[in-house]
Amino acid sequence: MKPIRWTILVSVLLTVSTLPAQPMRKQGQVNAGRQAGAGPEAVFKKPAPITLAELATRKTTGVSAVEVNDYAPGHYAGALTPSPPHADMNAGKAVVVFWKNHSQRLIFSHEASYCPLLELPNGAAMCNQFFEGNLGEAELFNNMGRKERNSFVDVVESGPERVWVRWTYFAVNMNDDTQPRLRGTEDYLAYPNGLVLRRLSYQSLMPQEVIGYSTQPIELFGVAPAGSTIKDLFPRDAQHDDYHILAAVDLYAERRYDIYWDETGGVRRRGDDATLTAISRSSGYALVMPFKQRLLFAAYGTASGFPAEKNQLIDHCTPGAKGGCAWGTGLWDHWPIGWLNSQTSLWKPGSPYAYSFGSIGQFLVPDGKQIQTFATDYPAYCKDMELNRWTADRVFYVLLGAARDWNELRRIARRWLDQGADCARPNSIAGLR
């Protein structure tokens, strides 16, 4: 007998031990081969990709996932040029999660490095970020990060009772990917009620280096469809003649922090630094993009792995906001369609491309501390190796979804977090709506 390859065996055991538990079935509910604890669905041939036109004819009895070969973010319909030689020459590849009773879709687009987009029918979408390397040293939104070897997805369950997509990525330097800084693993569990549980963790691949870690797992960016403007997508405030773009909501108190943009580049906030700090310290909160079609949200809190004493929400839009980068109305057309190996291509009026905008961000900080000035405090906290090792040892959970109104959002998110540690179980979201 050949000796056992212990490194391979340990790796397999570790992988199996981290898989999410299957949801419990009601008595009498039979689904051959997919009993509780059965693991991935039993298939012997992977389905071939289809087109978006074919997808439009597909139906699901609950929720399903398919691979398509001609997707572009933000309803962009032009040629994907000048794309060569970036990435892997397959910019239209995507995995699309769609529902029977809900109009939003969850998109894992190759052109967006598979960073999931919760997309509305008009092409507007919310992105909730990923583990990027400390100090901006390692990213995914560049030529290197979009390569299949550095970012890829697997459909573990394709529905219709549940969809399970696993996203694996290596955060790499924008100019050289020979030494990845960290490896992220994220599982997305989608149920027929339109909700998604995001389970995320990472492993440092440079454990002795500050840049091998991450303190920023969640940041809300939006996607604006090609040819659209902010006024097309968001509700207008009649009193101030501006548009409600972003919000942070305390799920356990009557606190809200709102960000408004106008059409001339002005930014207004309703709420102050103290309000945003108080929301950061709550046991539960949601970051929201209040689109006209639906409120898209990411909810999380202490019970889902984010201790209040280590959490900070930062407004990067409003000039003078504590800890922010003061981007103003930050608009970029290099992403989600990755035209440049760059992170600083500003959107220009009349651009034919879909574009991204934002943001309000969530950062992990040393116990009880706050980023007061981003340029100095953020780099300093990134060098706290105790904090870095803590983030690498944790598993975090986020609830993603679309709500009709603020009351529904609060009700769903609180019911999830009120389960305590059980909110980490995939079926914790199955009965929330």
Q: Please determine, for residue 79, whether its predicted confidence score (pLDDT) is greater than 80.
A: no
For residues 373-394, give the mean pLDDT: 97
pLDDT digits (tens, 9 = 90+) for 133-170: 999 899 888 778 889 999 999 999 999 999 999 999 99
For the ranges 167-176, 250-259, 343-352, 373-382, which has the lowest average pLDDT? Answer: 343-352
Between CA 84 and CA 305 the distance in angstroms is 41
Q: How much is the pLDDT for 344? A: 65
Helices H / strands E in the chain, number of each = 7, 20
For residues 190-208, give the mean pLDDT: 98
Between CA 91 and CA 225 the distance in angstroms is 17
Beta bridge partners of 96: 66, 107
Residue 208's contacts (CB-CB under 8 Å, 6 or more residues apart) are none
For residues 292-307, give the mean pLDDT: 98
Q: Please determine, for residue 26, whether its predicted confidence score (pLDDT) is greater than 80.
A: no
pLDDT digits (tens, 9 = 90+) for 81-93: 655 455 687 888 9
Q: How much is the pLDDT for 234? A: 98
Residue 70: is it exposed, middle or buried by C-beta count within 10 angstroms (0-12/13-18/19+)? Answer: middle
Local structure of residue 74 (DSSP, 8 states): G
Between CA 65 and CA 356 the distance in angstroms is 25
Q: How much is the pLDDT for 3? A: 38
pLDDT digits (tens, 9 = 90+) for 98-116: 999 999 999 999 988 899 9
Q: How much is the pLDDT for 359? A: 87
Residue 246's contacts (CB-CB under 8 Å, 6 or more residues apart) are 220, 258, 259, 287, 288, 289, 290, 315, 317, 358, 359, 360
Residue 339: is it exposed, middle or buried by C-beta count within 10 angstroms (0-12/13-18/19+)? Answer: middle
Backbone φ and ψ of 277, nearest 5°: -65, -40
pLDDT digits (tens, 9 = 90+) for 353-377: 888 898 899 999 999 899 999 999 9
Q: Please determine, for residue 432, whether its predicted confidence score (pLDDT) is greater than 60.
A: yes
State the pLDDT confidence band at 14, using cuts at 50, 70 and 90.
very low
Between CA 319 and CA 327 the distance in angstroms is 7
Q: Please determine, for residue 428, whether its predicted confidence score (pLDDT) is greater than 60.
A: yes
Strands annotated E in 120-181: 125-127, 151-158, 163-171
Residue 155: is it exposed, middle or buried by C-beta count within 10 angstroms (0-12/13-18/19+)? Answer: buried
pTM: 0.90
Q: How much is the pLDDT for 143? A: 79
Mean pLDDT for all residues in the chain: 88
Q: Please determine, for residue 30, whether its predicted confidence score (pLDDT) is greater than 50.
A: no
Q: Please determine, for residue 13, whether its predicted confidence score (pLDDT) is greater than 90.
A: no
Q: How much is the pLDDT for 334? A: 66
Q: For the chain, what are the domain ranges?
A: 223-409
More confident residue, 73 or 257: 257
For residues 207-227, give the mean pLDDT: 94
pLDDT digits (tens, 9 = 90+) for 233-287: 999 999 999 999 999 999 999 999 999 999 999 999 999 999 999 999 999 999 9
Beta bridge partners of 281: none
Q: How much is the pLDDT for 338? A: 52
pLDDT digits (tens, 9 = 90+) for 399-415: 999 999 999 999 999 99
Q: Please determine, for residue 31, whether its predicted confidence score (pLDDT) is greater than 50.
A: no
Q: How much is the pLDDT for 337? A: 59
Between CA 408 and CA 102 the distance in angstroms is 15
